[in-house]
Amino acid sequence: MRKSSLVFNVLALAATPALAADPQADVRQIVETFRAAIVAKDGATLRTLFLPGHDSWFSVDSEAEYGRRLRKDPAASRVHPGTSARFADSIGGDRGRVEETFSNVKILADDAIASVHFDYVFLADGKPTNHGQEAWQLVRTGDGWKIVSLVYSVDTAPPDGAP
C-alpha cells in the first residue's frame, strides 16, 4: 500500500505544472526578455510576454511633460492609452537602433501574481527619447508569467546625467 501511494504521489506531481522555485527570478527573466526583444527588434517575442486577449497599456505624462504639452495644445490629454501589439509593431518596424534600460528594479511576487516597478530610459540610436518610471502587473498562467498591465510615466527632457 505504501509503495502504491508513493507511485501515485510521483505521478500526481508529474502531471501538475511545477511551481516556480523562485517567482522573482522568473519575473526578472521576463524583464530581461522584454529588454532583449526591444534591442533585437523582435516584436513577435514581445507579443508572447502579454496575456492574450487582455491589454491594459497606458503612458502618463510627467508634470513637466504635461506642462509642455499644454503650452502647445490647451486641450492636451495627460493619459495616453496604447496596446502591447502596437508597441510590438513599432519596435519590429523601427529602422534605427532601439533600447530600453532599466534601473532600480523592484519585484513583488508570490506563485500566482507579481508586480514590477523600475526606472527606465528609452534610447533611439543611443540617445534618450524619453524616461520615467514603469510598472507592470503579471499573472502566472499555465504557459508561464504574462504581463496583464503596463503603465509608464513619460518625460522627454533629457534624464539627469544624459548628454
| Per-residue burial over 48-62, b = 16 or more CB atoms within 10 Å of its CB, e = otherwise | ebbbeeebbbebbbb
- Nearest 5 degrees, angle CA 84-CA 86-CA 90? 115
pTM over 0.85, yes/no: no
Res. 162 pLDDT band, cuts 50 70 90? low
State which amino acid sits at residue 100.
E
What DSSP designation does 156 have? -
Q: What domains, with CATH codes, occur in the chain?
A: 20-154 (3.10.450.50)
**3-class secondary-structure state, position 84:** helix
Q: 15-61 pLDDT, tens per residue?
A: 344 444 799 999 999 999 999 999 999 999 999 999 998 889 999 99
